[in-house]
């Protein structure tokens, strides 16, 4: 859903530059203090405010992702973070999170090999 706002006269600064000069297909404004995000899609010459889906995410169908707010600890800081999800609503992990998940998987595999009497360091 798109919400049209015909009165664009008060919009200045970065928003105006992106809308009139850079013209990216999507533009998001995230206010950490309010834990609020607004996402706009370029329609013709103007950005139009999008309505979030039932997960309170903003779908970007061209990329197969959704943008939304996730509350949790990231980089040792607990905040409401702006994060990406796939089109099914699954949180996309950051590179750091993927590496940690893989390290944990490797540790579990090494422990299992040791339980079986196999030294994981001698396999390679």
- How far is the C-alpha of 111 from the C-alpha of 47, rounded, in Å? 54
- Using a 10 angstrom Cβ sphere, with 0-12 exposed, 13-18 middle and 19 or more buried, the burial of residue 72 is exposed
pTM of the model: 0.75
Q: How far is CA 41 from CA 2, 28, 50, 94, 99, in A?
A: 8, 9, 7, 25, 33
User: Which pLDDT tens digit goes with each residue over 98-116?
Assistant: 999 999 999 999 999 999 9
Domain extents in the chain: 2-92, 93-124
Give the per-residue pLDDT at 8: 52
User: Which pLDDT tens digit goes with each residue over 18-62?
Assistant: 999 999 999 999 998 999 999 999 999 999 999 999 999 999 999
């Amino acid at each position: 859903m798109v919400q049209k706002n015909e009165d664009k006269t008060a919009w200045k600064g970065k928003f105006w530059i992106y809308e009139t000069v850079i013209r990216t297909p999507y533009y998001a404004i995230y206010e950490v203090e309010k834990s609020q995000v607004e996402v706009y899609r370029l329609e013709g010459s103007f950005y139009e405010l999008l309505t979030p889906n039932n997960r309170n995410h903003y779908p970007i169908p061209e990329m197969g992702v959704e943008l939304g707010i996730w509350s949790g600890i990231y980089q040792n800081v607990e905040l409401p973070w702006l994060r990406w999800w796939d089109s099914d609503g699954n949180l996309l992990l950051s590179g750091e999170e993927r590496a940690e998940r893989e390290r944990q998987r490797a540790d579990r595999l090494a422990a299992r090999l040791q339980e079986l009497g196999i030294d994981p360091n001698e396999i390679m």
